[in-house]
Structure 1
Amino acid sequence: MVAAIFLIAVLPFVYFYDEALAIFSLELFSCVYFFTGYFNKNRKPFVKQKALLAIVLFSWLFTVFRSVFISVSPDSSFSAFIKLFALIMLAFGLSERFESFYNDTVKGIFASSAFAGFIHGAIALLEYIEAPAIPITWLDPSSREVFRTRCAGIFTDPNIFGSFLSVIFIFTLGYVFTAESRKNKNVGALSALLCGFGILTTLSRGAWISLCAGLFVGIIYIIIQKVKDREEIKYSGRLILVLTMFLFLVFLIGPFKYRFISIAKPSDMTFAQRTLINKAFLRHLSDLPIAGHGLHTFNQVYPRYRIVGGDYPMNAHNEFLLSLLETGFLSSFFLFVLCFYIFKSLHSLRKTESIGLPFFIAAYTSFFVQNLSGFSSRILPTAALFSIVYAYAYSSKTKSFGETKKISFISKLAVIVFVIMYLTLSGYIYYIQKQIADSVYLLKNNRIEESIDKLEQVSKISWRNSFVASLLGQLYMINNNHVKAVEMYEYAAELNPSEASFYDSLAVLYAPTDTDKTKQMYELALKLDPASENYRLSYARFLLKHNEKEEAKKVLEKGLEFSPGFHDVYTGFRKIESMLNSL
């Protein structure tokens, strides 16, 4: 119950308050759960069926870990791997709870989800009533007259909010089915109703489709499950039927149906952009490194492959494509095999009276579909939910008899040393991130000297961190210390030659004194990100300032070749058009 409350009800709000703190909290919590789970005297034996799923997981994890060492940005990759390992430790720790306290753990997850569904649904309802302005990249221009707003709750992205609520909605239905009293079932239904409305307000078609897919699979497993108390199941079923029909009526009567129908329009901005993303991958498939560019480096390396500009195509919106680029072909294969074995593990419980199966397999289906058109597995609150689902699947492979072997002294010592090392590393990463955040806060409050002092201290500890070096370069630039700014940006580019923004900043710094060097930096930036409208605009302005009109025209004309259209949204390309027309 403690894990369920923390992961489902508390962690999303910690994440909203401070992402670095949320990640560190998860890492601490995961260590505790892994440690206590490993030394649990009542844990089940490590049988062959369980070993197979673990082997597939660690085969995939090895390919991910390997990518850290060949990464274009090891500092980014390593911190992401530490977070990933926390999620895996959490899953193994939770699996021990499922095995030892199955009913209590499942019901705790469902009850926490019902609480979270009510809270987040209410937040979405209030946000929908207040109707804050929709950011221009969140919606197709043709839909702006139809929709008043698009809700993201405490999240920064409505698609992630929708993905989170979809799984919470499924688990809340689990609460309606498993609650012992009809009063609690009714409360659960109210929570599901609010949560369902919240999903509608996100306008996330991916969340809607993944939820429907999950519910469809869940219904199939409810039908084939052997349930003793048919009368209570019928009552729960009637409740859920009423609330789903009500939500469907809201969908039909309200404007939401137009958002769903727009998915079939080839001119729809989202559809067009994702098509272009996939085309870019297909065009450059042979250019991708076999072992990938490194975990958590997508936004740094994808620009060299993309075929359109704008900010939206900076995300692959497909976990398998993300993995292909970051961790390589073999890693993507193991990820697919892992997904298959998770489903197989869940499916193996179909002939039992497992009260949670229909809802966990529905949640897993929803996650799988989400990540074919999104990246919810990368974001902490939803990633934590996926760890819960994996823990359930992993524990399902140990429904066998046998005595637990006594843990050897060497094994105990190894686990203790590992946990201490892990906590040290995660603490170090959190400290660096906290100091960076404090430095940014000081900068926002115009306390530049203090911000520089703090970041200089960080750079002494984390001297191989390209982000720290570039941020320090930015601070020196603001403080008019161009010599040190150049030094820091050059060092950042040396650490991570794949980051185009470093060369763009160097071009700005070289512009007053060295024309040739400035051109060289802009060319390097455009080589790494040829579709960037901002780099092209800056370069063209520099060329025009030096009376190189024809060269500027070439730069701008090439830039328009990368236009995704929708210039009312992607205003950088509209500026390119205007500049060209004025020449």
Structure 2
Amino acid sequence: VVIVGTSLAIYGLYNYFNGIEKIYTLDKKHYLGMVTSTYVNHNHIGGYFELAIPLAIGLILAKERLLRRGKIGKISSVIFGSLLPLAAAVIMIIALVFTYSRGAWIGFFGSMIGFGIIIALWLKIFKGWSRPKKWGIFAVIAVIIISAAMFMPEDIKQRATTLLEFKEGEFEDMSIQGRLIVNRNTLEMIKDYPILGSGPGTFNILYPKYRDPRLRTFMNATHNDYLQYAEEMGLFGIGSFILLLVLFCKKSLNLIKNLPDKYLQGLT
């Protein structure tokens, strides 16, 4: 997953910085001026990076097991256990930024917050550290984030500000406001089909009836998986979906907490 993600990032960044609007030999028709790599949609490649980046960081945590068991030497540990996964993560983060996918940005920051909490609580990575050392680590992270925000390209900043853009009248760009309107329209649909839903794949058929007149974009999905499940499959569908998520998270956290193997902990 990490190797594929890094390869996609390198290919996407190469095309982006060289102004190549192609996927292999095919001309891109949509999402021009964005990193899409071999994907058509910039949101989809952004979602892949969201998956691969935490795994690359997990590989850094996993190197302790290989070193302890003598399967790799110290130099190999630094190269394969730290430098390569770190380089992969950095390359994918840069590519993620230039996807211009606002949803992927939010998802990435959310995953990093959750990832940090899990590391701190379950892996007890800060156990035995002095308070100044802990605060020093957080200060360094804060400085990196602030510096990245300050020196970020202007077009990236403008793209990010549209997340909080609220305006009157008709609009086509799907900012937070646009998505909230779609979500509100979807809630109206759920009220009409509460128990069994309207049926899988029926959202784009029924939505025009509920669409807010200010939206000028064609919507084939809610862009909110939870509302999509609730609208199309009703109470039973969304209930089953949430139950699966809860059971998955519970199982994952138990594995992270109880696995004696640091390598498996890092991958989990």
TM over 0.5: yes
C-alpha distance in structure 2 between counterparts of 1:117 and 1:307, whole Å: 38
Structure 1 residues 307 and 246 mapped into 2: Cα distance closer, same or farther (>3 Å)? closer
Q: 3-state SS of the aligned residue for 2:228?
A: helix
C-alpha distance in structure 2 between counterparts of 1:174 and 1:251, whole Å: 28
Q: CA deviation at 1:326?
A: 1.9
Q: CA deviation at 1:348?
A: 2.3
Of 148, 152, 156 in structure 2, the residue corresponding to residue 249 of structure 1 is 148
Q: Which amino acid aligns with 2:179?
A: R
C-alpha distance in structure 2 between counterparts of 1:217 and 1:322, whole Å: 24
Q: Which amino acid aligns with 2:242?
A: F
Query: Are 2:36 and 1:152 equivalent residues in the alignment?
Result: yes
C-alpha distance in structure 2 between counterparts of 1:300 and 1:173, whole Å: 42
Structure 1 residues 315 and 251 mapped into 2: Cα distance closer, same or farther (>3 Å)? farther
Q: CA deviation at 1:312?
A: 4.1
How many aligned residue pairs are there? 229
Q: CA deviation at 1:247?
A: 10
Structure 1 unaligned segments of length 5 or more: list them: 1-7, 9-112, 139-147, 361-583
Report what 1:176 is aligned to.
60
C-alpha distance in structure 2 between counterparts of 1:153 and 1:312, whole Å: 25
Query: Are 2:99 and 1:202 equivalent residues in the alignment?
Result: yes
Q: Which amino acid aligns with 1:264?
A: L
Q: CA deviation at 1:307?
A: 3.1
Report what 1:320 is aligned to.
226
TM-score, normalised to structure 1, is 0.35
Native 8 Å contact 2:183 2:224 kept in 1: no
Query: Are 2:174 and 1:270 equivalent residues in the alignment?
Result: yes
Report what 1:332 is aligned to.
238
Q: Which amino acid aligns with 2:220?
A: M
Deviations 1:406-429 (A, max 9, x none): xxxxxxxxxxxxxxxxxxxxxxxx
Q: CA deviation at 1:273?
A: 2.4
Counting only pairs closer than 5 Å after superposition, residues 403-482 of structure 1 correspond to structure 2 as none
TM-score, normalised to structure 2, is 0.72
Q: 3-state SS of the aligned residue for 1:270?
A: coil
Counting only pairs closer than 5 Å after superposition, residues 65-214 of structure 1 correspond to structure 2 as 113=2, 115-131=3-19, 132=21, 149-179=33-63, 180=67, 181-184=77-80, 185-214=82-111
Deviations 1:426-460 (A, max 9, x none): xxxxxxxxxxxxxxxxxxxxxxxxxxxxxxxxxxx
Native 8 Å contact 2:56 2:85 kept in 1: yes
Of 199, 211, 215 in structure 2, the residue corresponding to residue 306 of structure 1 is 211
Q: Percent identity?
A: 20
Query: Are 2:253 and 1:347 equivalent residues in the alignment?
Result: yes
Report what 2:114 is aligned to.
217
Deviations 1:489-530 (A, max 9, x none): xxxxxxxxxxxxxxxxxxxxxxxxxxxxxxxxxxxxxxxxxx
Deviations 1:269-297 (A, max 9, x none): 21232122122123333322631233334
C-alpha distance in structure 1 between counterparts of 2:111 and 2:56, whole Å: 13
Of 180, 184, 201 in structure 2, the residue corresponding to residue 296 of structure 1 is 201
Native 8 Å contact 1:124 1:152 kept in 2: yes
Structure 1 residues 183 and 257 mapped into 2: Cα distance closer, same or farther (>3 Å)? same
Deviations 1:46-100 (A, max 9, x none): xxxxxxxxxxxxxxxxxxxxxxxxxxxxxxxxxxxxxxxxxxxxxxxxxxxxxxx
Deviations 1:290-329 (A, max 9, x none): 3123333433343343334644422200111111222222
Structure 1 residues 150 and 311 mapped into 2: Cα distance closer, same or farther (>3 Å)? same
Native 8 Å contact 1:303 1:314 kept in 2: no
C-alpha distance in structure 2 between counterparts of 1:354 and 1:333, whole Å: 34
Q: Which runs of 4+ in 1 moved over 6 A?
A: 133-136
Report what 1:84 is aligned to.
none
